[in-house]
Amino acid sequence: MDLSLLSLYIVAIFLLIITPGPVVALVTDSACRDGTRRALLTVLGTNGASLLLIAAAALIIAGVFQLSTLLLHLLSLAGSLLLGWIALQSLAELRRPGAPDHAAAPQPSGFLRGFMVGIANPKDILFFVAFFPQFIAITPSFSTSMTLLALIWLVMDLLILLTYIWLMRHAFFTARQRTVRLLAALFLLLVAVMGLVYSCGKLLMGW
């Protein structure tokens, strides 16, 4: 096993995962809004989505199948709409400061919501396709390398998201939950708008 290449991979994914994105925004919002238990289910959902995307990327790298560009853009459009809906729903709840959380509109289960957001950006498959081949040489076997890379990614992802949940339970963030939720919702909305613009542009160019 190439330990130097493996170490480089671990550092690289740590920096990638710790950078706030839609998943981090959803997890922090869930921790503030619904508590630790639901946030943990959300993390498991996003982790499951990552596993599915990594598996799809591994099959593409192995040459088992190819992903249609049109399908990719359509899925990206659907994912952007989903993120936008979640963001707008959170913003609508925040506009009702006097309403208790349990009076808000019913939400999908924490796991399902996490999985939906995690899977909402199918372009992650392309990222994995471009990223993983750089580290395939950590072992002589393709299947062993892909399995190891995927497991390390999932464990790192899980640990970092759990750290975000722990931080949200800290007194400093607990006192500023409304601000954290507002920032998370606005970030999700920004990602959704950018995704919609990009996906619609690509689809129109294709036609």
* Long-range contacts, stretch 84-89, CB < 8 angstroms, 24+ apart: 84/188, 84/189, 84/192, 84/193, 84/196, 86/26, 86/113, 86/117, 86/188, 87/185, 87/186, 87/188, 87/189, 87/192, 88/189
Average pLDDT over every residue of 24-48:
85
Higher pLDDT, 103 or 159: 159
Task: Report the alpha-carbon distance of residue 141 to residue 114 in Å, rounded.
Answer: 32
Examine the pLDDT at 108 and tell me if it is beyond 60: no
**What's at 168, amino acid-wise?**
M
- Is pLDDT of 121 > 90? no
Could you tell me the pLDDT band of residue 152, with boundaries at 50, 70 and 90?
very high
The whole-model pTM stands at 0.75
The residue that leads in pLDDT, 170 or 42, is 42
Three-state DSSP state, 141: coil
pLDDT of 125 above 80: no
Alpha-carbon gap, residue 139 to 178, rounded angstroms:
47
> What's the pLDDT at 79?
74
The Cα–Cα gap between 105 and 203 comes to 33
**Which one-letter amino acid corresponds to residue 149?**
L
The fraction of the chain above a pLDDT of 90, given in percent, is 6
Q: Are 181 and 94 in contact (CB under 8 A)?
A: yes
The pLDDT, as a whole number, for residue 155 is 92
Is it the case that residue 99 has pLDDT exceeding 50? Answer: no
Rounded distance between C-alpha atoms, residue 71 and residue 75, angstroms? 6
pLDDT averaged over every residue in the chain: 79
Most confident segment among 59-63, 77-81, 142-146: 142-146
